[in-house]
Structure 1
Amino acid sequence: MSNVKTGELLSFQDYSPEHNAPSARIDVEAVHSNQYNNTMSSQNYTYEEPTNNDESPDQPPTNHNFWTIEYYQKYFDVQTSEVIERIISSVVPTKVSSSYFDDRIKAKPDLYGPVWISVTLIFTIAVSGNIASYLQNVNSAMHWRYDFHLVSYAATAIICYVWIVPLALWGAIKWTTVEAQDEEAIQGSTNPTMMSLFCLYGYSLSVYIPVAILWTIQVSWLQWLLVLLAAFVSGAVLIYWLLTTLRKSKYFLILVASILAVHFLLATGFMLYFFHIPSTVPSPAVISSTIKPA
């Protein structure tokens, strides 16, 4: 170190590559390549295509049995907006398109709305019927009691109507429809399914919910007017949506008259049994005379 000048220690020196000894270099790439080759030679590797676990092959939808709960799940998969729209269409069909039944109800029938409307109507009739009974006996000396049997009576009538009448109509349409010769008529519209008729009839009862409340008004002519109005509106909407299908039946007029008649009988039965004031005719006074023995 004594032979080295102080100026050389404090200055940077330029070392050219030619002064570097070959033995001082380390080939990093060669070392890495040798290690990779040794590893690959010691183990057997197979190349596999990367698979995406998120993508699964399309599986066909499983057909559930008619008696299982899974079969009916699709009929309760409906939005609230759709239920409201179908309720409106069951009262004012002009608010929706003319093909609403074919595009919406027939393509995607639901049971949520019919079940909800039926249950609501059952309790509305039961409660309103008891209110009407109370108003009828409010001025009488008889002690009034709540009639719980009205719930079971209303439930029996409504459930039988919602399920038996559409089933009978579906069978009548199926066995009385004349095969169309025109190809456009064949492709234009198909017969409604059983579920679509259940859906249609269930929504048609929605008009009776406000009518059942108005039936508590103890005015005879108003009650009969509500019967005619509710039966006509609900029955006319049913015929409006089923008119294309009913025209293909050879008993077209009979089916139309039957739909209106059954609807009128239902409304009349509701009003007479649950709400109507029975006409009371004063019984003639019986004069009893006692004859004193002589």
Structure 2
Amino acid sequence: MANRGYDVVVDVDEGGDLGNTDLQEDLEFHSSNFNDPPNSRSKIPPDNSGPFSNGQNPPPSKRFLWTLSFYAQFFDVDTSEVLRRCTSSLYPRSPFLDILDGNPDLYGPFWIATTLVFILFLTATISQYLAEKGVDHFEYNFQLLSGAAGLIYGYTGFVPIGLWGLLRWFGAESATLVECWALYGYANVIWIPVALISWSPVTALNYVFVAIGFLMSAVFLVRNLWPVVSVTEAKVSRILVIGVVALHAGLAIAIKFTFFAHGSPAIKGSTGDGKGDGAEKMIRSLLGL
């Protein structure tokens, strides 16, 4: 190949030495056990854009939806922590998302909802019994149990999903789906004492108890959701808050007129003929009815 204008000059002394260079001064040798972590620049950052991550803290390990370890991370709480979170929902002193401290759980919300379902059925049955006192044969209305389960589980399960989807749509991504579930789940704590004292046949008292439950839980939701929704446009944030309050008012109205109002659709659905089928017959036979 012809020379294209590149000239190289090498100065070699008689002993074949390339001359005195300072390469040896720049070379340093370090001991290594080959167990040191690789350079952090070569790592690929994890993807934190999923519905269960807030995009800030990477997950502790790689988990998949079809493994038990994935769901176990949402039940990683003890009894004292659940009680502390329940108390914080009744007496809020600091933002609830700060109390969760990046570890939202589904254990507390599930058992709170389950407890509320059975208490609603029990107290509604007592309320119905007092209203029909003097009847020869009282009939348990087991439709109240299925109605309570559908109302509480449906509201606590699906409303947070819709809210989280709207927050993602409008660019508010500071709350994860599990945090929304936890927020709504612990907001149901106030309904447990409300349901326990709403068996009274005095209608005015029932209205007062349900109104107190609605106000306390609605304030809890708005107070903790406002920092999340406020990052959106002012009009959008107001609409979201109004929607949250309206849906929660619908829950309070459903609790009042389905379980603690005599002559409600659920109570009217009682057959009153002393007959039942399946699980209803078995439960009645166990109760000696």
Q: Decide whether the 8 Å contact of 1:231 with 1:260 is kept in 2.
A: no
With over 3 angstroms needed to count, the CA separation of the structure-2 counterparts of 1:106 and 1:152, relative to structure 1, is farther
Residue of structure 2 aligned with 1:270, choices 252, 255, 261: 255
- Paired residue total: 207
Q: How does 1:89-238 map to 2 (within 5 A)?
A: 89-94=88-93, 97-98=94-95, 100-102=96-98, 104-105=99-100, 107-139=102-134, 141=135, 143-177=137-171, 191-238=174-221
Residue of structure 2 aligned with 1:241, choices 206, 224, 229: 224
Counterpart CA distance in 2 for 1:269 and 1:223 is 13
Say if 2:66 is the partner of 1:72: no
Match of 2:62 in 1: 63
Counterpart CA distance in 2 for 1:224 and 1:205 is 18
Counterpart amino acid of 2:243? S
Counterpart CA distance in 2 for 1:225 and 1:110 is 32
Flag the structure with larger Rg. Answer: 1
- Which secondary structure does the structure 2 equivalent of 1:93 belong to? coil
Counterpart CA distance in 2 for 1:266 and 1:107 is 28
How far apart are residue 213 of structure 1 and its match?
1.3
With over 3 angstroms needed to count, the CA separation of the structure-2 counterparts of 1:61 and 1:214, relative to structure 1, is closer
With over 3 angstroms needed to count, the CA separation of the structure-2 counterparts of 1:110 and 1:168, relative to structure 1, is same
Aligned structure 1 segments of 4 or more residues deviating by more than 3 angstroms: none
Unaligned runs of 5+ in 2: 1-36, 38-58, 265-289
With over 3 angstroms needed to count, the CA separation of the structure-2 counterparts of 1:68 and 1:157, relative to structure 1, is farther
Q: Decide whether the 8 Å contact of 1:106 with 1:192 is kept in 2.
A: no
Counterpart CA distance in 1 for 2:139 and 2:262 is 17
With over 3 angstroms needed to count, the CA separation of the structure-2 counterparts of 1:262 and 1:142, relative to structure 1, is farther
- Which secondary structure does the structure 2 equivalent of 1:155 belong to? helix
1:254-286 residue CA offsets vs partner (Å, 9 max, x unmatched): 11111111111111111111111249xxxxxxx
- Give the TM-score normalised by structure 2: 0.67
Give the share of equivalent positions with the same residue, in percent. 36
With over 3 angstroms needed to count, the CA separation of the structure-2 counterparts of 1:61 and 1:212, relative to structure 1, is closer
Counterpart CA distance in 2 for 1:108 and 1:278 is 44
Counterpart amino acid of 1:154? A
